Amino acid sequence: MNIAVFASGRGSNFAALARAMKKGKIQANLSLLVCDNPKASVIGRARRAGIRVALVKREDFATRNDFEQKIIQHLEENDIGLIVLAGFMRILGPDLVIRYKDRILNIHPALLPAFKGAHAIKDAFDYGVKVTGVSVHFVDEKMDHGPIILQAPVEIEETDTLESLEARIHKVEHKIYPKAIKLFIEGKLKLEGRKIRIIQ
Ligand code: GRF
């Protein structure tokens, strides 16, 4: 199966996934990076790894729908079976979500449904929770909402700064995301309404 990663920024999750695939841990091809930000460092990572880059800028299109149609064209040309969102800073519209229903994953740096949104690590840190973490979930029409595949807790220590917490969260992300993608690729995720059963 061909996988497309959507990312807008640094791309550490993209790199972790590329490493897992190179080591043969996941039986699929990371064939495409879809990026909406020409300045994102994930682009350089993809080029160095020899992975095709589709740079699709929102400002080049009159409407969100036109922008997404262009993305869909790239996905179809590359015969993509799974979309992996990894720091893609846009909400997907209904066309894409419906067309790739149950084939879009996202990673969120908090224990959903707590701390949805773009600043989850800081929000959890500022709130003063003792435990936060990482969630991998299917994407539906609502932000940070679809069925949860895997979660992992991360304890917040009294000595933590926002930076040290971010670093630990990212480390956990880089383990849990390849694991969830592997389960998907191996057909081990059984959707039962909102709940997901992992077939052993
Ligand atoms: C990650 O923290 C992810 O959970 C969130 O965006 C961040 C992307 O980081 N959705 P990177 O670009 O993969 O380094």
- CA pair distance 105, 142, nearest whole angstrom: 13
pLDDT at 152 over 90: yes
What tens digit of pLDDT does each residue of 3-35 get? 999 999 999 999 999 999 999 999 999 999 999
Give the Å distance between the CA of 89 and the centre of ligand 1.
Answer: 9
Answer whether 173 contacts ligand 1 (Cβ < 6 A).
Answer: yes
Active site residue 108: yes
> Residues near 191 by Cβ (< 8 Å), separated by ≥ 6?
102, 138, 147
pLDDT band at 132 (very low <50, low <70, confident <90, very high): very high
Nearest to 165 by CA among 135, 105, 124, 111: 124
Of all protein residues, whose CA lies closest to atom 14 belonging to ligand 1? 12
pLDDT band at 110 (very low <50, low <70, confident <90, very high): very high
- CA pair distance 73, 4, nearest whole angstrom: 13
Answer whether 87 contacts ligand 1 (Cβ < 6 A).
Answer: yes
Answer whether 11 contacts ligand 1 (Cβ < 6 A).
Answer: yes
* Mean pLDDT, residues 113-127 taken together: 97
* Mean pLDDT, residues 105-134 taken together: 98
pLDDT at 200 over 90: no
Q: Rounded to two decimals, what is the model's pTM?
A: 0.96
Of all protein residues, whose CA lies closest to atom 12 belonging to ligand 1? 11
Ligand 1 atom nearest residue 42's Cα: 12
Q: Quick one: what percent of the chain has pLDDT higher than 90? A: 98
Of all protein residues, whose CA lies closest to atom 2 belonging to ligand 1? 109
Nearest to 136 by CA among 91, 100, 184: 184
- CA pair distance 27, 21, nearest whole angstrom: 7
